[in-house]
Amino acid sequence: MAHAEALQTLEPGAGATAAIVDFVRRLNYAALGDEVIHYARRHLLDTVGVMIAGAGGEVATRAEAVLGAARPPGRIPVPGRARRADLLDAAFLGGTAAHGIELDDGFRQGSVHPGCVVVPAALALGCARHSNGAALMEAIVAGYETVTAIGRACHPEVRQRGFHPTAVVGVFGSAAAAGKLAGLSAERLANALGLAASSGAGLFAFVNGGGDIKRLHAGHAAREGLQATLLAEQGVEGPPGVIEERDGFMQAFARAEKARAIALPPAVPFGITDCYIKPYPCCRHIQPALEALIGLLNDENIAGEEVERIEVATYRIAAEHAQTGWDDFASAQLSFPYLIGLALKFRAVRLEHFADAVRRDSAFAAIARKLTVTAPADVDRLYPQLRPARVTVITARGSFTRQAEEALGSRIVPLDDPRLKAKFLDLVGPVLGTARANELAQALWSIDAIRDVAPLVGRWQGRRRGFGSRIFRKQRERIAAVDLYAPPLGEESGFISLHHLGDDACIGERVVAPEHHALRRGDVIERAESLLPRRQRVVVPEMLEGGVNLLARKLRQARIDDRRHREAPGEIGHEPAGVRQDEANARKALERAGEDEIDRRPCRVEQIFHDEAGPRQRERGARGM
């Protein structure tokens, strides 16, 4: 059966809530099948990675500060954070972090993000009750299927009425996952769903600004669904047919006077196998247009300065983001003009592109004036079966058009397991360190064999080094510098492909002789940084010499600028001619950089590093990663 199908398996009033309860209670790990288990592993790995990186975001950090001031630490680890929390707070903080950097998974047919509400609730309760890995996987699948079934049944009406589907529908998923782990009876699980329904809330007004609330929506849904389960477990009752009954969920949120049809396996494929994984930290609705634009720029060799106009034809829900500004981090991730500007300027969209300094660039306003976004009927009708975007770039030498039906990460355009792991390591490495990140990835991939998940959850506590922390930001800046300054740019020249993520991405893999090893991106960062504090001679293939030299200069200047920014105005001296002393020092430092640059002797062997700084210097460089 095709994944795009949403079969009408229930007649109105036939008991949608009871059908979900029966499905969740019957769900058994041994009967899931290899494909479903594989997808469950993928989405667990992906969500945990985003949770850990997102834990250091501004909203998640402030939320933890509020909770920390209100009550003492608990005993449940929060991924990516040092402080433990109580059960409900752990779910809330985990959900907020998982939805905090726009890299969490989603389900196109329901316009909903299941992972950021299901996984935090399941992990918190699984840790508290020392559940085994197979039980945790059962709970995660139960939660995903509940979210996808309800989300599909009430889409697009929920979104069109101004609600955020992740917040409104997500509470059912976290309640179902927690109820499965808790082993609730059918009656009590129905009560849990009934209680959770009254907590479903969240408005889409953040698209016009004030986007911090969007991050909190997932935290609220994760916490409220878990709390509903705990209350039902203690005998608190909720409306047993809350989804389909009069004055129930469908009537309130989807303009349905009667129950909507709910499609569940085996009548339809498991929803978790049709959820996408994001490769880019921005709104999924805009990602097909970004890929189409970047593909045109690369394939047609179009320079940014050539572009006179950009016309995007997409579906209506995506087109509504055309008026979103980019005054803050959250808004920029949802802004069609800003994201198109990033694609035109950098031919990529990465976390570091949402920094204040980048967003303040006046070039984005100029690009926005060249952009037109429409929702013609022939494109709009394809959604939600597809996520289409037709992009036309108009230049003096002609117009070029490309249509994308879906973005990377979907079942149609899959992100394979190696690239998924690379994404995980790219996010978790700066927080936990590369070794721990690799260990965690392996443990999560085989979690169904673990007898008690609590010790594993305890191993992923961080030290406030997620996205938003200074260490994480510096790491992203280094990666951006490598991608910008190493010379053989573009997939054609072998630098780094658009979807090749992580520090293991190879630079020069197609331009260095086959018998030689190409440099990892992480190695280039470390070697370039080693040029800063000490003289260090490095021999690399000639093709890459200029790039690493430029990178060293770039990183040196960034340190000078950072130091100047942190110095008090009174501490900065001036030369008689009016030249700032720190600027003069910066110029001298750049001139001295030539003494530290790459040894330009011919190199016909693998990269040879003459490391005068020794092991201690290498350790410093590794920590900087």
- pLDDT of 404-417, one tens digit each? 999 999 999 999 99
Assigned token pair, 160: 């069109």
- pLDDT of 157-167, one tens digit each? 999 899 999 99
Predicted confidence at residue 541, as pLDDT, reads 56
Q: Please, which pLDDT band fits residue 432 given cuts at 50, 70 and 90? A: confident
Q: What's at 524, amino acid-wise?
A: V
Residues of 410-435 as b/e, b for ≥16 C-beta within 10 angstroms?
bebbebeeebbbbbbbbbbbbbbbbe
Instruction: Delimit the CATH 1.10.4100.10 region(s) of the chain.
Output: 16-274
Assigned token pair, 101: 């950097």
Predicted confidence at residue 364, as pLDDT, reads 96
- What pairs with residue 163 in β-bridges? 203
Instruction: Delimit the CATH 3.30.1330.120 region(s) of the chain.
Output: 284-404
The torsion angles phi and psi of 106, rounded to 5 degrees, stand at -165, 170
State how far the Cα of 412 lies from the Cα of 529, in Å rounded to an integer: 40
State how far the Cα of 346 lies from the Cα of 349, in Å rounded to an integer: 7
Distances (CA, A) of 436 to 425, 439, 612: 10, 5, 28
Q: What is the DSSP letter of 571?
A: G
Pairing of strands 389-395, 519-520: unpaired
- On the question of pLDDT at 47 being above 90, the answer is yes
Helix (H, G, I), strand (E, B) or coil at 197: helix
* Percent of the chain at pLDDT exceeding 90: 60
Q: What is the DSSP letter of 90?
A: H
DSSP letter string over 219-255?
Answer: HHHHHHHHHHHHHHHTT----TTTTTSTTSHHHHHH-
State how far the Cα of 316 lies from the Cα of 379, in Å rounded to an integer: 9
Mean pLDDT of the chain: 81
Contact 423, 49 (CB under 8 A): yes
- pLDDT of 167-211, one tens digit each? 999 999 999 999 999 999 999 999 999 999 999 999 999 888 788
- What pairs with residue 112 in β-bridges? 107
Specify burial of residue 184 (Cβ count, 10 A radius: 0-12, 13-18, 19+).
buried
Specify burial of residue 398 (Cβ count, 10 A radius: 0-12, 13-18, 19+).
exposed
- On the question of pLDDT at 589 being above 70, the answer is no
The pTM of the full predicted model, rounded to 2 decimals, is 0.76
Q: Please, which pLDDT band fits residue 460 given cuts at 50, 70 and 90? A: confident
The torsion angles phi and psi of 268, rounded to 5 degrees, stand at -130, 160
Residues of 340-361 as b/e, b for ≥16 C-beta within 10 angstroms?
bbbbbebbbbbbbbbeeebbee
Distances (CA, A) of 136 to 226, 340, 405, 415, 596: 14, 39, 34, 24, 53
Give pairs for 160-165: CB < 8 Å, separation 24+. 161/253, 161/254, 161/255, 162/203, 162/204, 162/205, 163/201, 163/202, 163/203, 163/204, 163/253, 164/202, 164/203, 164/204, 164/206, 164/214, 164/217, 165/110, 165/111, 165/112
- pLDDT of 470-494, one tens digit each? 555 565 556 555 555 544 333 333 3
Q: Please, which pLDDT band fits residue 4 given cuts at 50, 70 and 90? A: very low
Q: What's at 207, amino acid-wise?
A: V
State how far the Cα of 119 lies from the Cα of 140, in Å rounded to an integer: 6
State how far the Cα of 163 lies from the Cα of 174, in Å rounded to an integer: 18
> In sequence order, which residues have a C-beta less than 8 Å from that of residue 292 and are 6 or more positions away?
389, 390, 391, 402, 403, 404
Contact 511, 543 (CB under 8 A): yes
Residues of 94-107 as b/e, b for ≥16 C-beta within 10 angstroms?
bbbbbbbbbbbbbb
Overall average pLDDT of the 22-49 stretch:
97
Q: Which residue has the higher pLDDT, 29 or 565?
A: 29
Whether the CA torsion 185, 187, 189, 195 is positive or negative: it is negative
Maximum CA extent, the chain: 86
Contact 168, 220 (CB under 8 A): no
Helix (H, G, I), strand (E, B) or coil at 519: strand
- On the question of pLDDT at 89 being above 80, the answer is yes
Closest CA to 575 of 567, 587, 583: 583
Overall average pLDDT of the 408-431 stretch:
92
Secondary structure E strands in 529-571: 537-539
- On the question of pLDDT at 388 being above 80, the answer is yes
C-alpha count within 13 angstroms, C-beta hemisphere, residue 355: 16
State how far the Cα of 12 lies from the Cα of 244, in Å rounded to an integer: 8
Neighbours of 295 (CB within 10 A): 17
Predicted confidence at residue 518, as pLDDT, reads 52
State how far the Cα of 326 lies from the Cα of 340, in Å rounded to an integer: 12
Q: Does domain 284-404 have CATH number 3.40.50.300?
A: no
Determine the distance from the C-alpha atom of residue 457 to the mean position of all C-alpha atoms in its chain, rounded to a whole number: 20
Overall average pLDDT of the 223-252 stretch:
95
Q: What is the DSSP letter of 569?
A: G
- What pairs with residue 401 in β-bridges? 392
Overall average pLDDT of the 507-527 stretch:
52
In this structure, CATH architecture of domain 16-274: Orthogonal Bundle (1.10)
Q: Please, which pLDDT band fits residue 56 given cuts at 50, 70 and 90? A: confident
Distances (CA, A) of 461 to 219, 421, 528: 18, 19, 30
- On the question of pLDDT at 426 being above 70, the answer is yes
